[in-house]
Amino acid sequence: MSEKEFLYQTRLKIFREADKKEGKKVEKVFSYIECHRDEYIKLLKDFCNQPSVSAENIGMEEMAALVKKTLVSLGAETEQIETFGYPIIYGEINQGKERVLTFYNHYDVQPVDPLDQWKTDPFESTIIDGKFFARGCADNKGSMLSRICAVDAYQKVYGKLPLNIKFIIEGEEEVGSPHLKKFSEKYPKKLRTNGIIWEGGSKNINGSLQIGLGVKGLCYVELYARGANDDLHSSNAAIIENPAWRLIWALSTLKNEKDEILIDGFYDTIKQPTQEDMEYLENIIYEEEVMKKSMGIKSFINNLTSVELKKKLLYEPTCNICGINSGYIGKGEKTVLPSSAKAKIDFRLVYNQKPDDIFSLLRKHLDNHGFSDIEIVYISGVNPYLTDSNSLIAKIVIKNVERIYKMPPVIYRNIAATSPMSVLCESTNIPAVLYGVNNDESNIHAPNENIYVKDYLNGIKLTTTVFHEFAKYCNSTLSN
């Protein structure tokens, strides 16, 4: 028995005595977590060292197996639910309680490209000065494991959980969760819950934990322009249409330099922010000067600042070029007339825009502007979602943050990013709350993705507290 383990066992004995007098206390679990921190960090390393890039089909099978094995060892009844894409790992720890709390996470990660900008191997977890570097540690293996470890620690200390727990861990979040809807339709019982702790989240620049009560939707498309059968010598450019020019002209009609999206009807269905929504913005810190410096930019779009800046970030949709490519882009001079051109675009949508509608509007727009030759391929889409800000789970999370972090949380009525909340929650209006273990410079979707080890351990503690407290107050209204 290690010295730490000995200390823990000693403390546990004392706590057990106390239990008899004053009931179960979550602080005991905190002690267990501290004592077993190396084990939990090791687990995160194992998870991050296993590549799982859904967009490129790298390591997905191995990752799904690792998630499954981990839930099984937690004592969950675990199913690997096959889809037409990557499987969903579903786990349930049924303690015979009426109350249910669900954790939604994903085991896939973003591609590592551009690899040359990584300072460490993205699939070899490296801790430097208390910071844990690896692709996926922030988005969202760290948050996922913080929940698994919370359940583990609670069970190790108290044997039983105070409520039933469900895990829904999918493998396609980074490619738009194309099969989650099918899952939600096929297994409505598995969705039944009193609340969902959603995916992940981060601290702000001041170290306050951010809590999200809504997400943007997404419509992801590819645009193609096609010219001659083959690349041609560029002397032909005088008489043969260049698809790169076609694509550029088409794209330039979608948005103007004021960042106004010019697609007819694009903004029509949007529910404008309420007075209450606008009030949430006031507590949100966006350190403009620090952010500008850290990103190396001179100003924000349209020189926005303050509330207007936050409003645009959180409550407005986007039309963003994720990538564009045509012809020769290597070094030196190659005089070529390309045969095709391609762009990848994501629209972030706000309540109540629908990706299918946006796709139709885009098609109509291009046709109306003389670009019926531009092909659009629908890659993925998800509706935006707003949770009930007065739900119990939202209140419990908000209330308990200060206990762990010694600072109140900052509440985001809507976050700037997308998650398939609507897919699991929309049909029965389940309240979902988003928080996690990231910091304000976690570089998600980018090189040098990272989290602080300390945030990971606090994340475990917070989740422990959340289900401990939620179990106390929840009057379940779930039918079987």
Instruction: Give the H or E element holding residue 102.
Output: strand 100-106
Instruction: List the interface residues with a copy of itself, window 146-175 (CB under 8 A).
Output: 174-175
Q: Which tokens sit at 402?
A: 């200060």
Contact status: 277 vs a copy of itself (CB under 8 A): no
Instruction: List the interface residues with a copy of itself, window 252-271 (CB under 8 A).
Output: 252, 255-257
- What is the distance between the alpha carbons of residues 172 and 2, in angstroms, rounded to a whole number? 40
Beta strands across the sheet bearing 88-93: 77-81, 88-93, 164-170, 100-106, 196-198, 432-434, 210-212, 410-412
In Å, how far from its chain's centre is CA 243?
35
In this chain, which of 17, 275, 329, 479 binds a copy of itself, going by CB under 8 A?
329
Question: Residue 107, SS3?
Answer: coil
Stretch of 90-98, 224-232, 396-404, 421-429 lying at the interface with a copy of itself (CB under 8 A): 224-232
Contact status: 229 vs a copy of itself (CB under 8 A): yes
Contact status: 17 vs a copy of itself (CB under 8 A): no
Nearer to a copy of itself, 242 or 464 (CB): 242
Q: Are 49 and 134 in contact (CB under 8 A)?
A: yes
In this chain, which of 2, 3, 333, 477 binds a copy of itself, going by CB under 8 A?
333
Contact status: 117 vs a copy of itself (CB under 8 A): yes
Contact status: 96 vs a copy of itself (CB under 8 A): no
Nearer to a copy of itself, 10 or 372 (CB): 372
Nearer to a copy of itself, 341 or 433 (CB): 341
In this chain, which of 18, 81, 205, 228 binds a copy of itself, going by CB under 8 A?
228
Cα separations in angstroms, 454 against 1, 40, 124, 320, 324: 25, 12, 19, 34, 39
Query: Residue 168 pairs with which residues in a beta bridge?
Result: 90, 104
Nearer to a copy of itself, 290 or 297 (CB): 297
In this chain, which of 227, 355, 431, 459 binds a copy of itself, going by CB under 8 A?
227
Q: Which tokens sit at 145?
A: 């494991």
Contact status: 289 vs a copy of itself (CB under 8 A): no
Nearer to a copy of itself, 335 or 480 (CB): 335
Cα end-to-end span (Å), the chain: 45
Instruction: List the interface residues with a copy of itself, window 182-211 (CB under 8 A).
Output: none
In this chain, which of 240, 270, 278, 392 binds a copy of itself, going by CB under 8 A?
240
Instruction: List the interface residues with a copy of itself, window 297-316 (CB under 8 A).
Output: 297, 300-301, 304, 309, 312-314, 316
Instruction: List the interface residues with a copy of itself, window 338-367 (CB under 8 A).
Output: 338, 341-342, 344, 346, 348
Contact status: 416 vs a copy of itself (CB under 8 A): yes
Contact status: 54 vs a copy of itself (CB under 8 A): yes
Cα separations in angstroms, 33 against 70, 149, 155, 247: 17, 8, 12, 54
User: CB within 8 A of 417, min separation 6: which ones?
Assistant: 215, 216, 348
Q: Which tokens sit at 284?
A: 């949100």
| Closest by CA position to 71, among listed 48, 91, 47, 45 | 91
Amino acid at 150: A
Least distance (Å) between residue 299 CB and a copy of itself: 8
Contact status: 438 vs a copy of itself (CB under 8 A): no
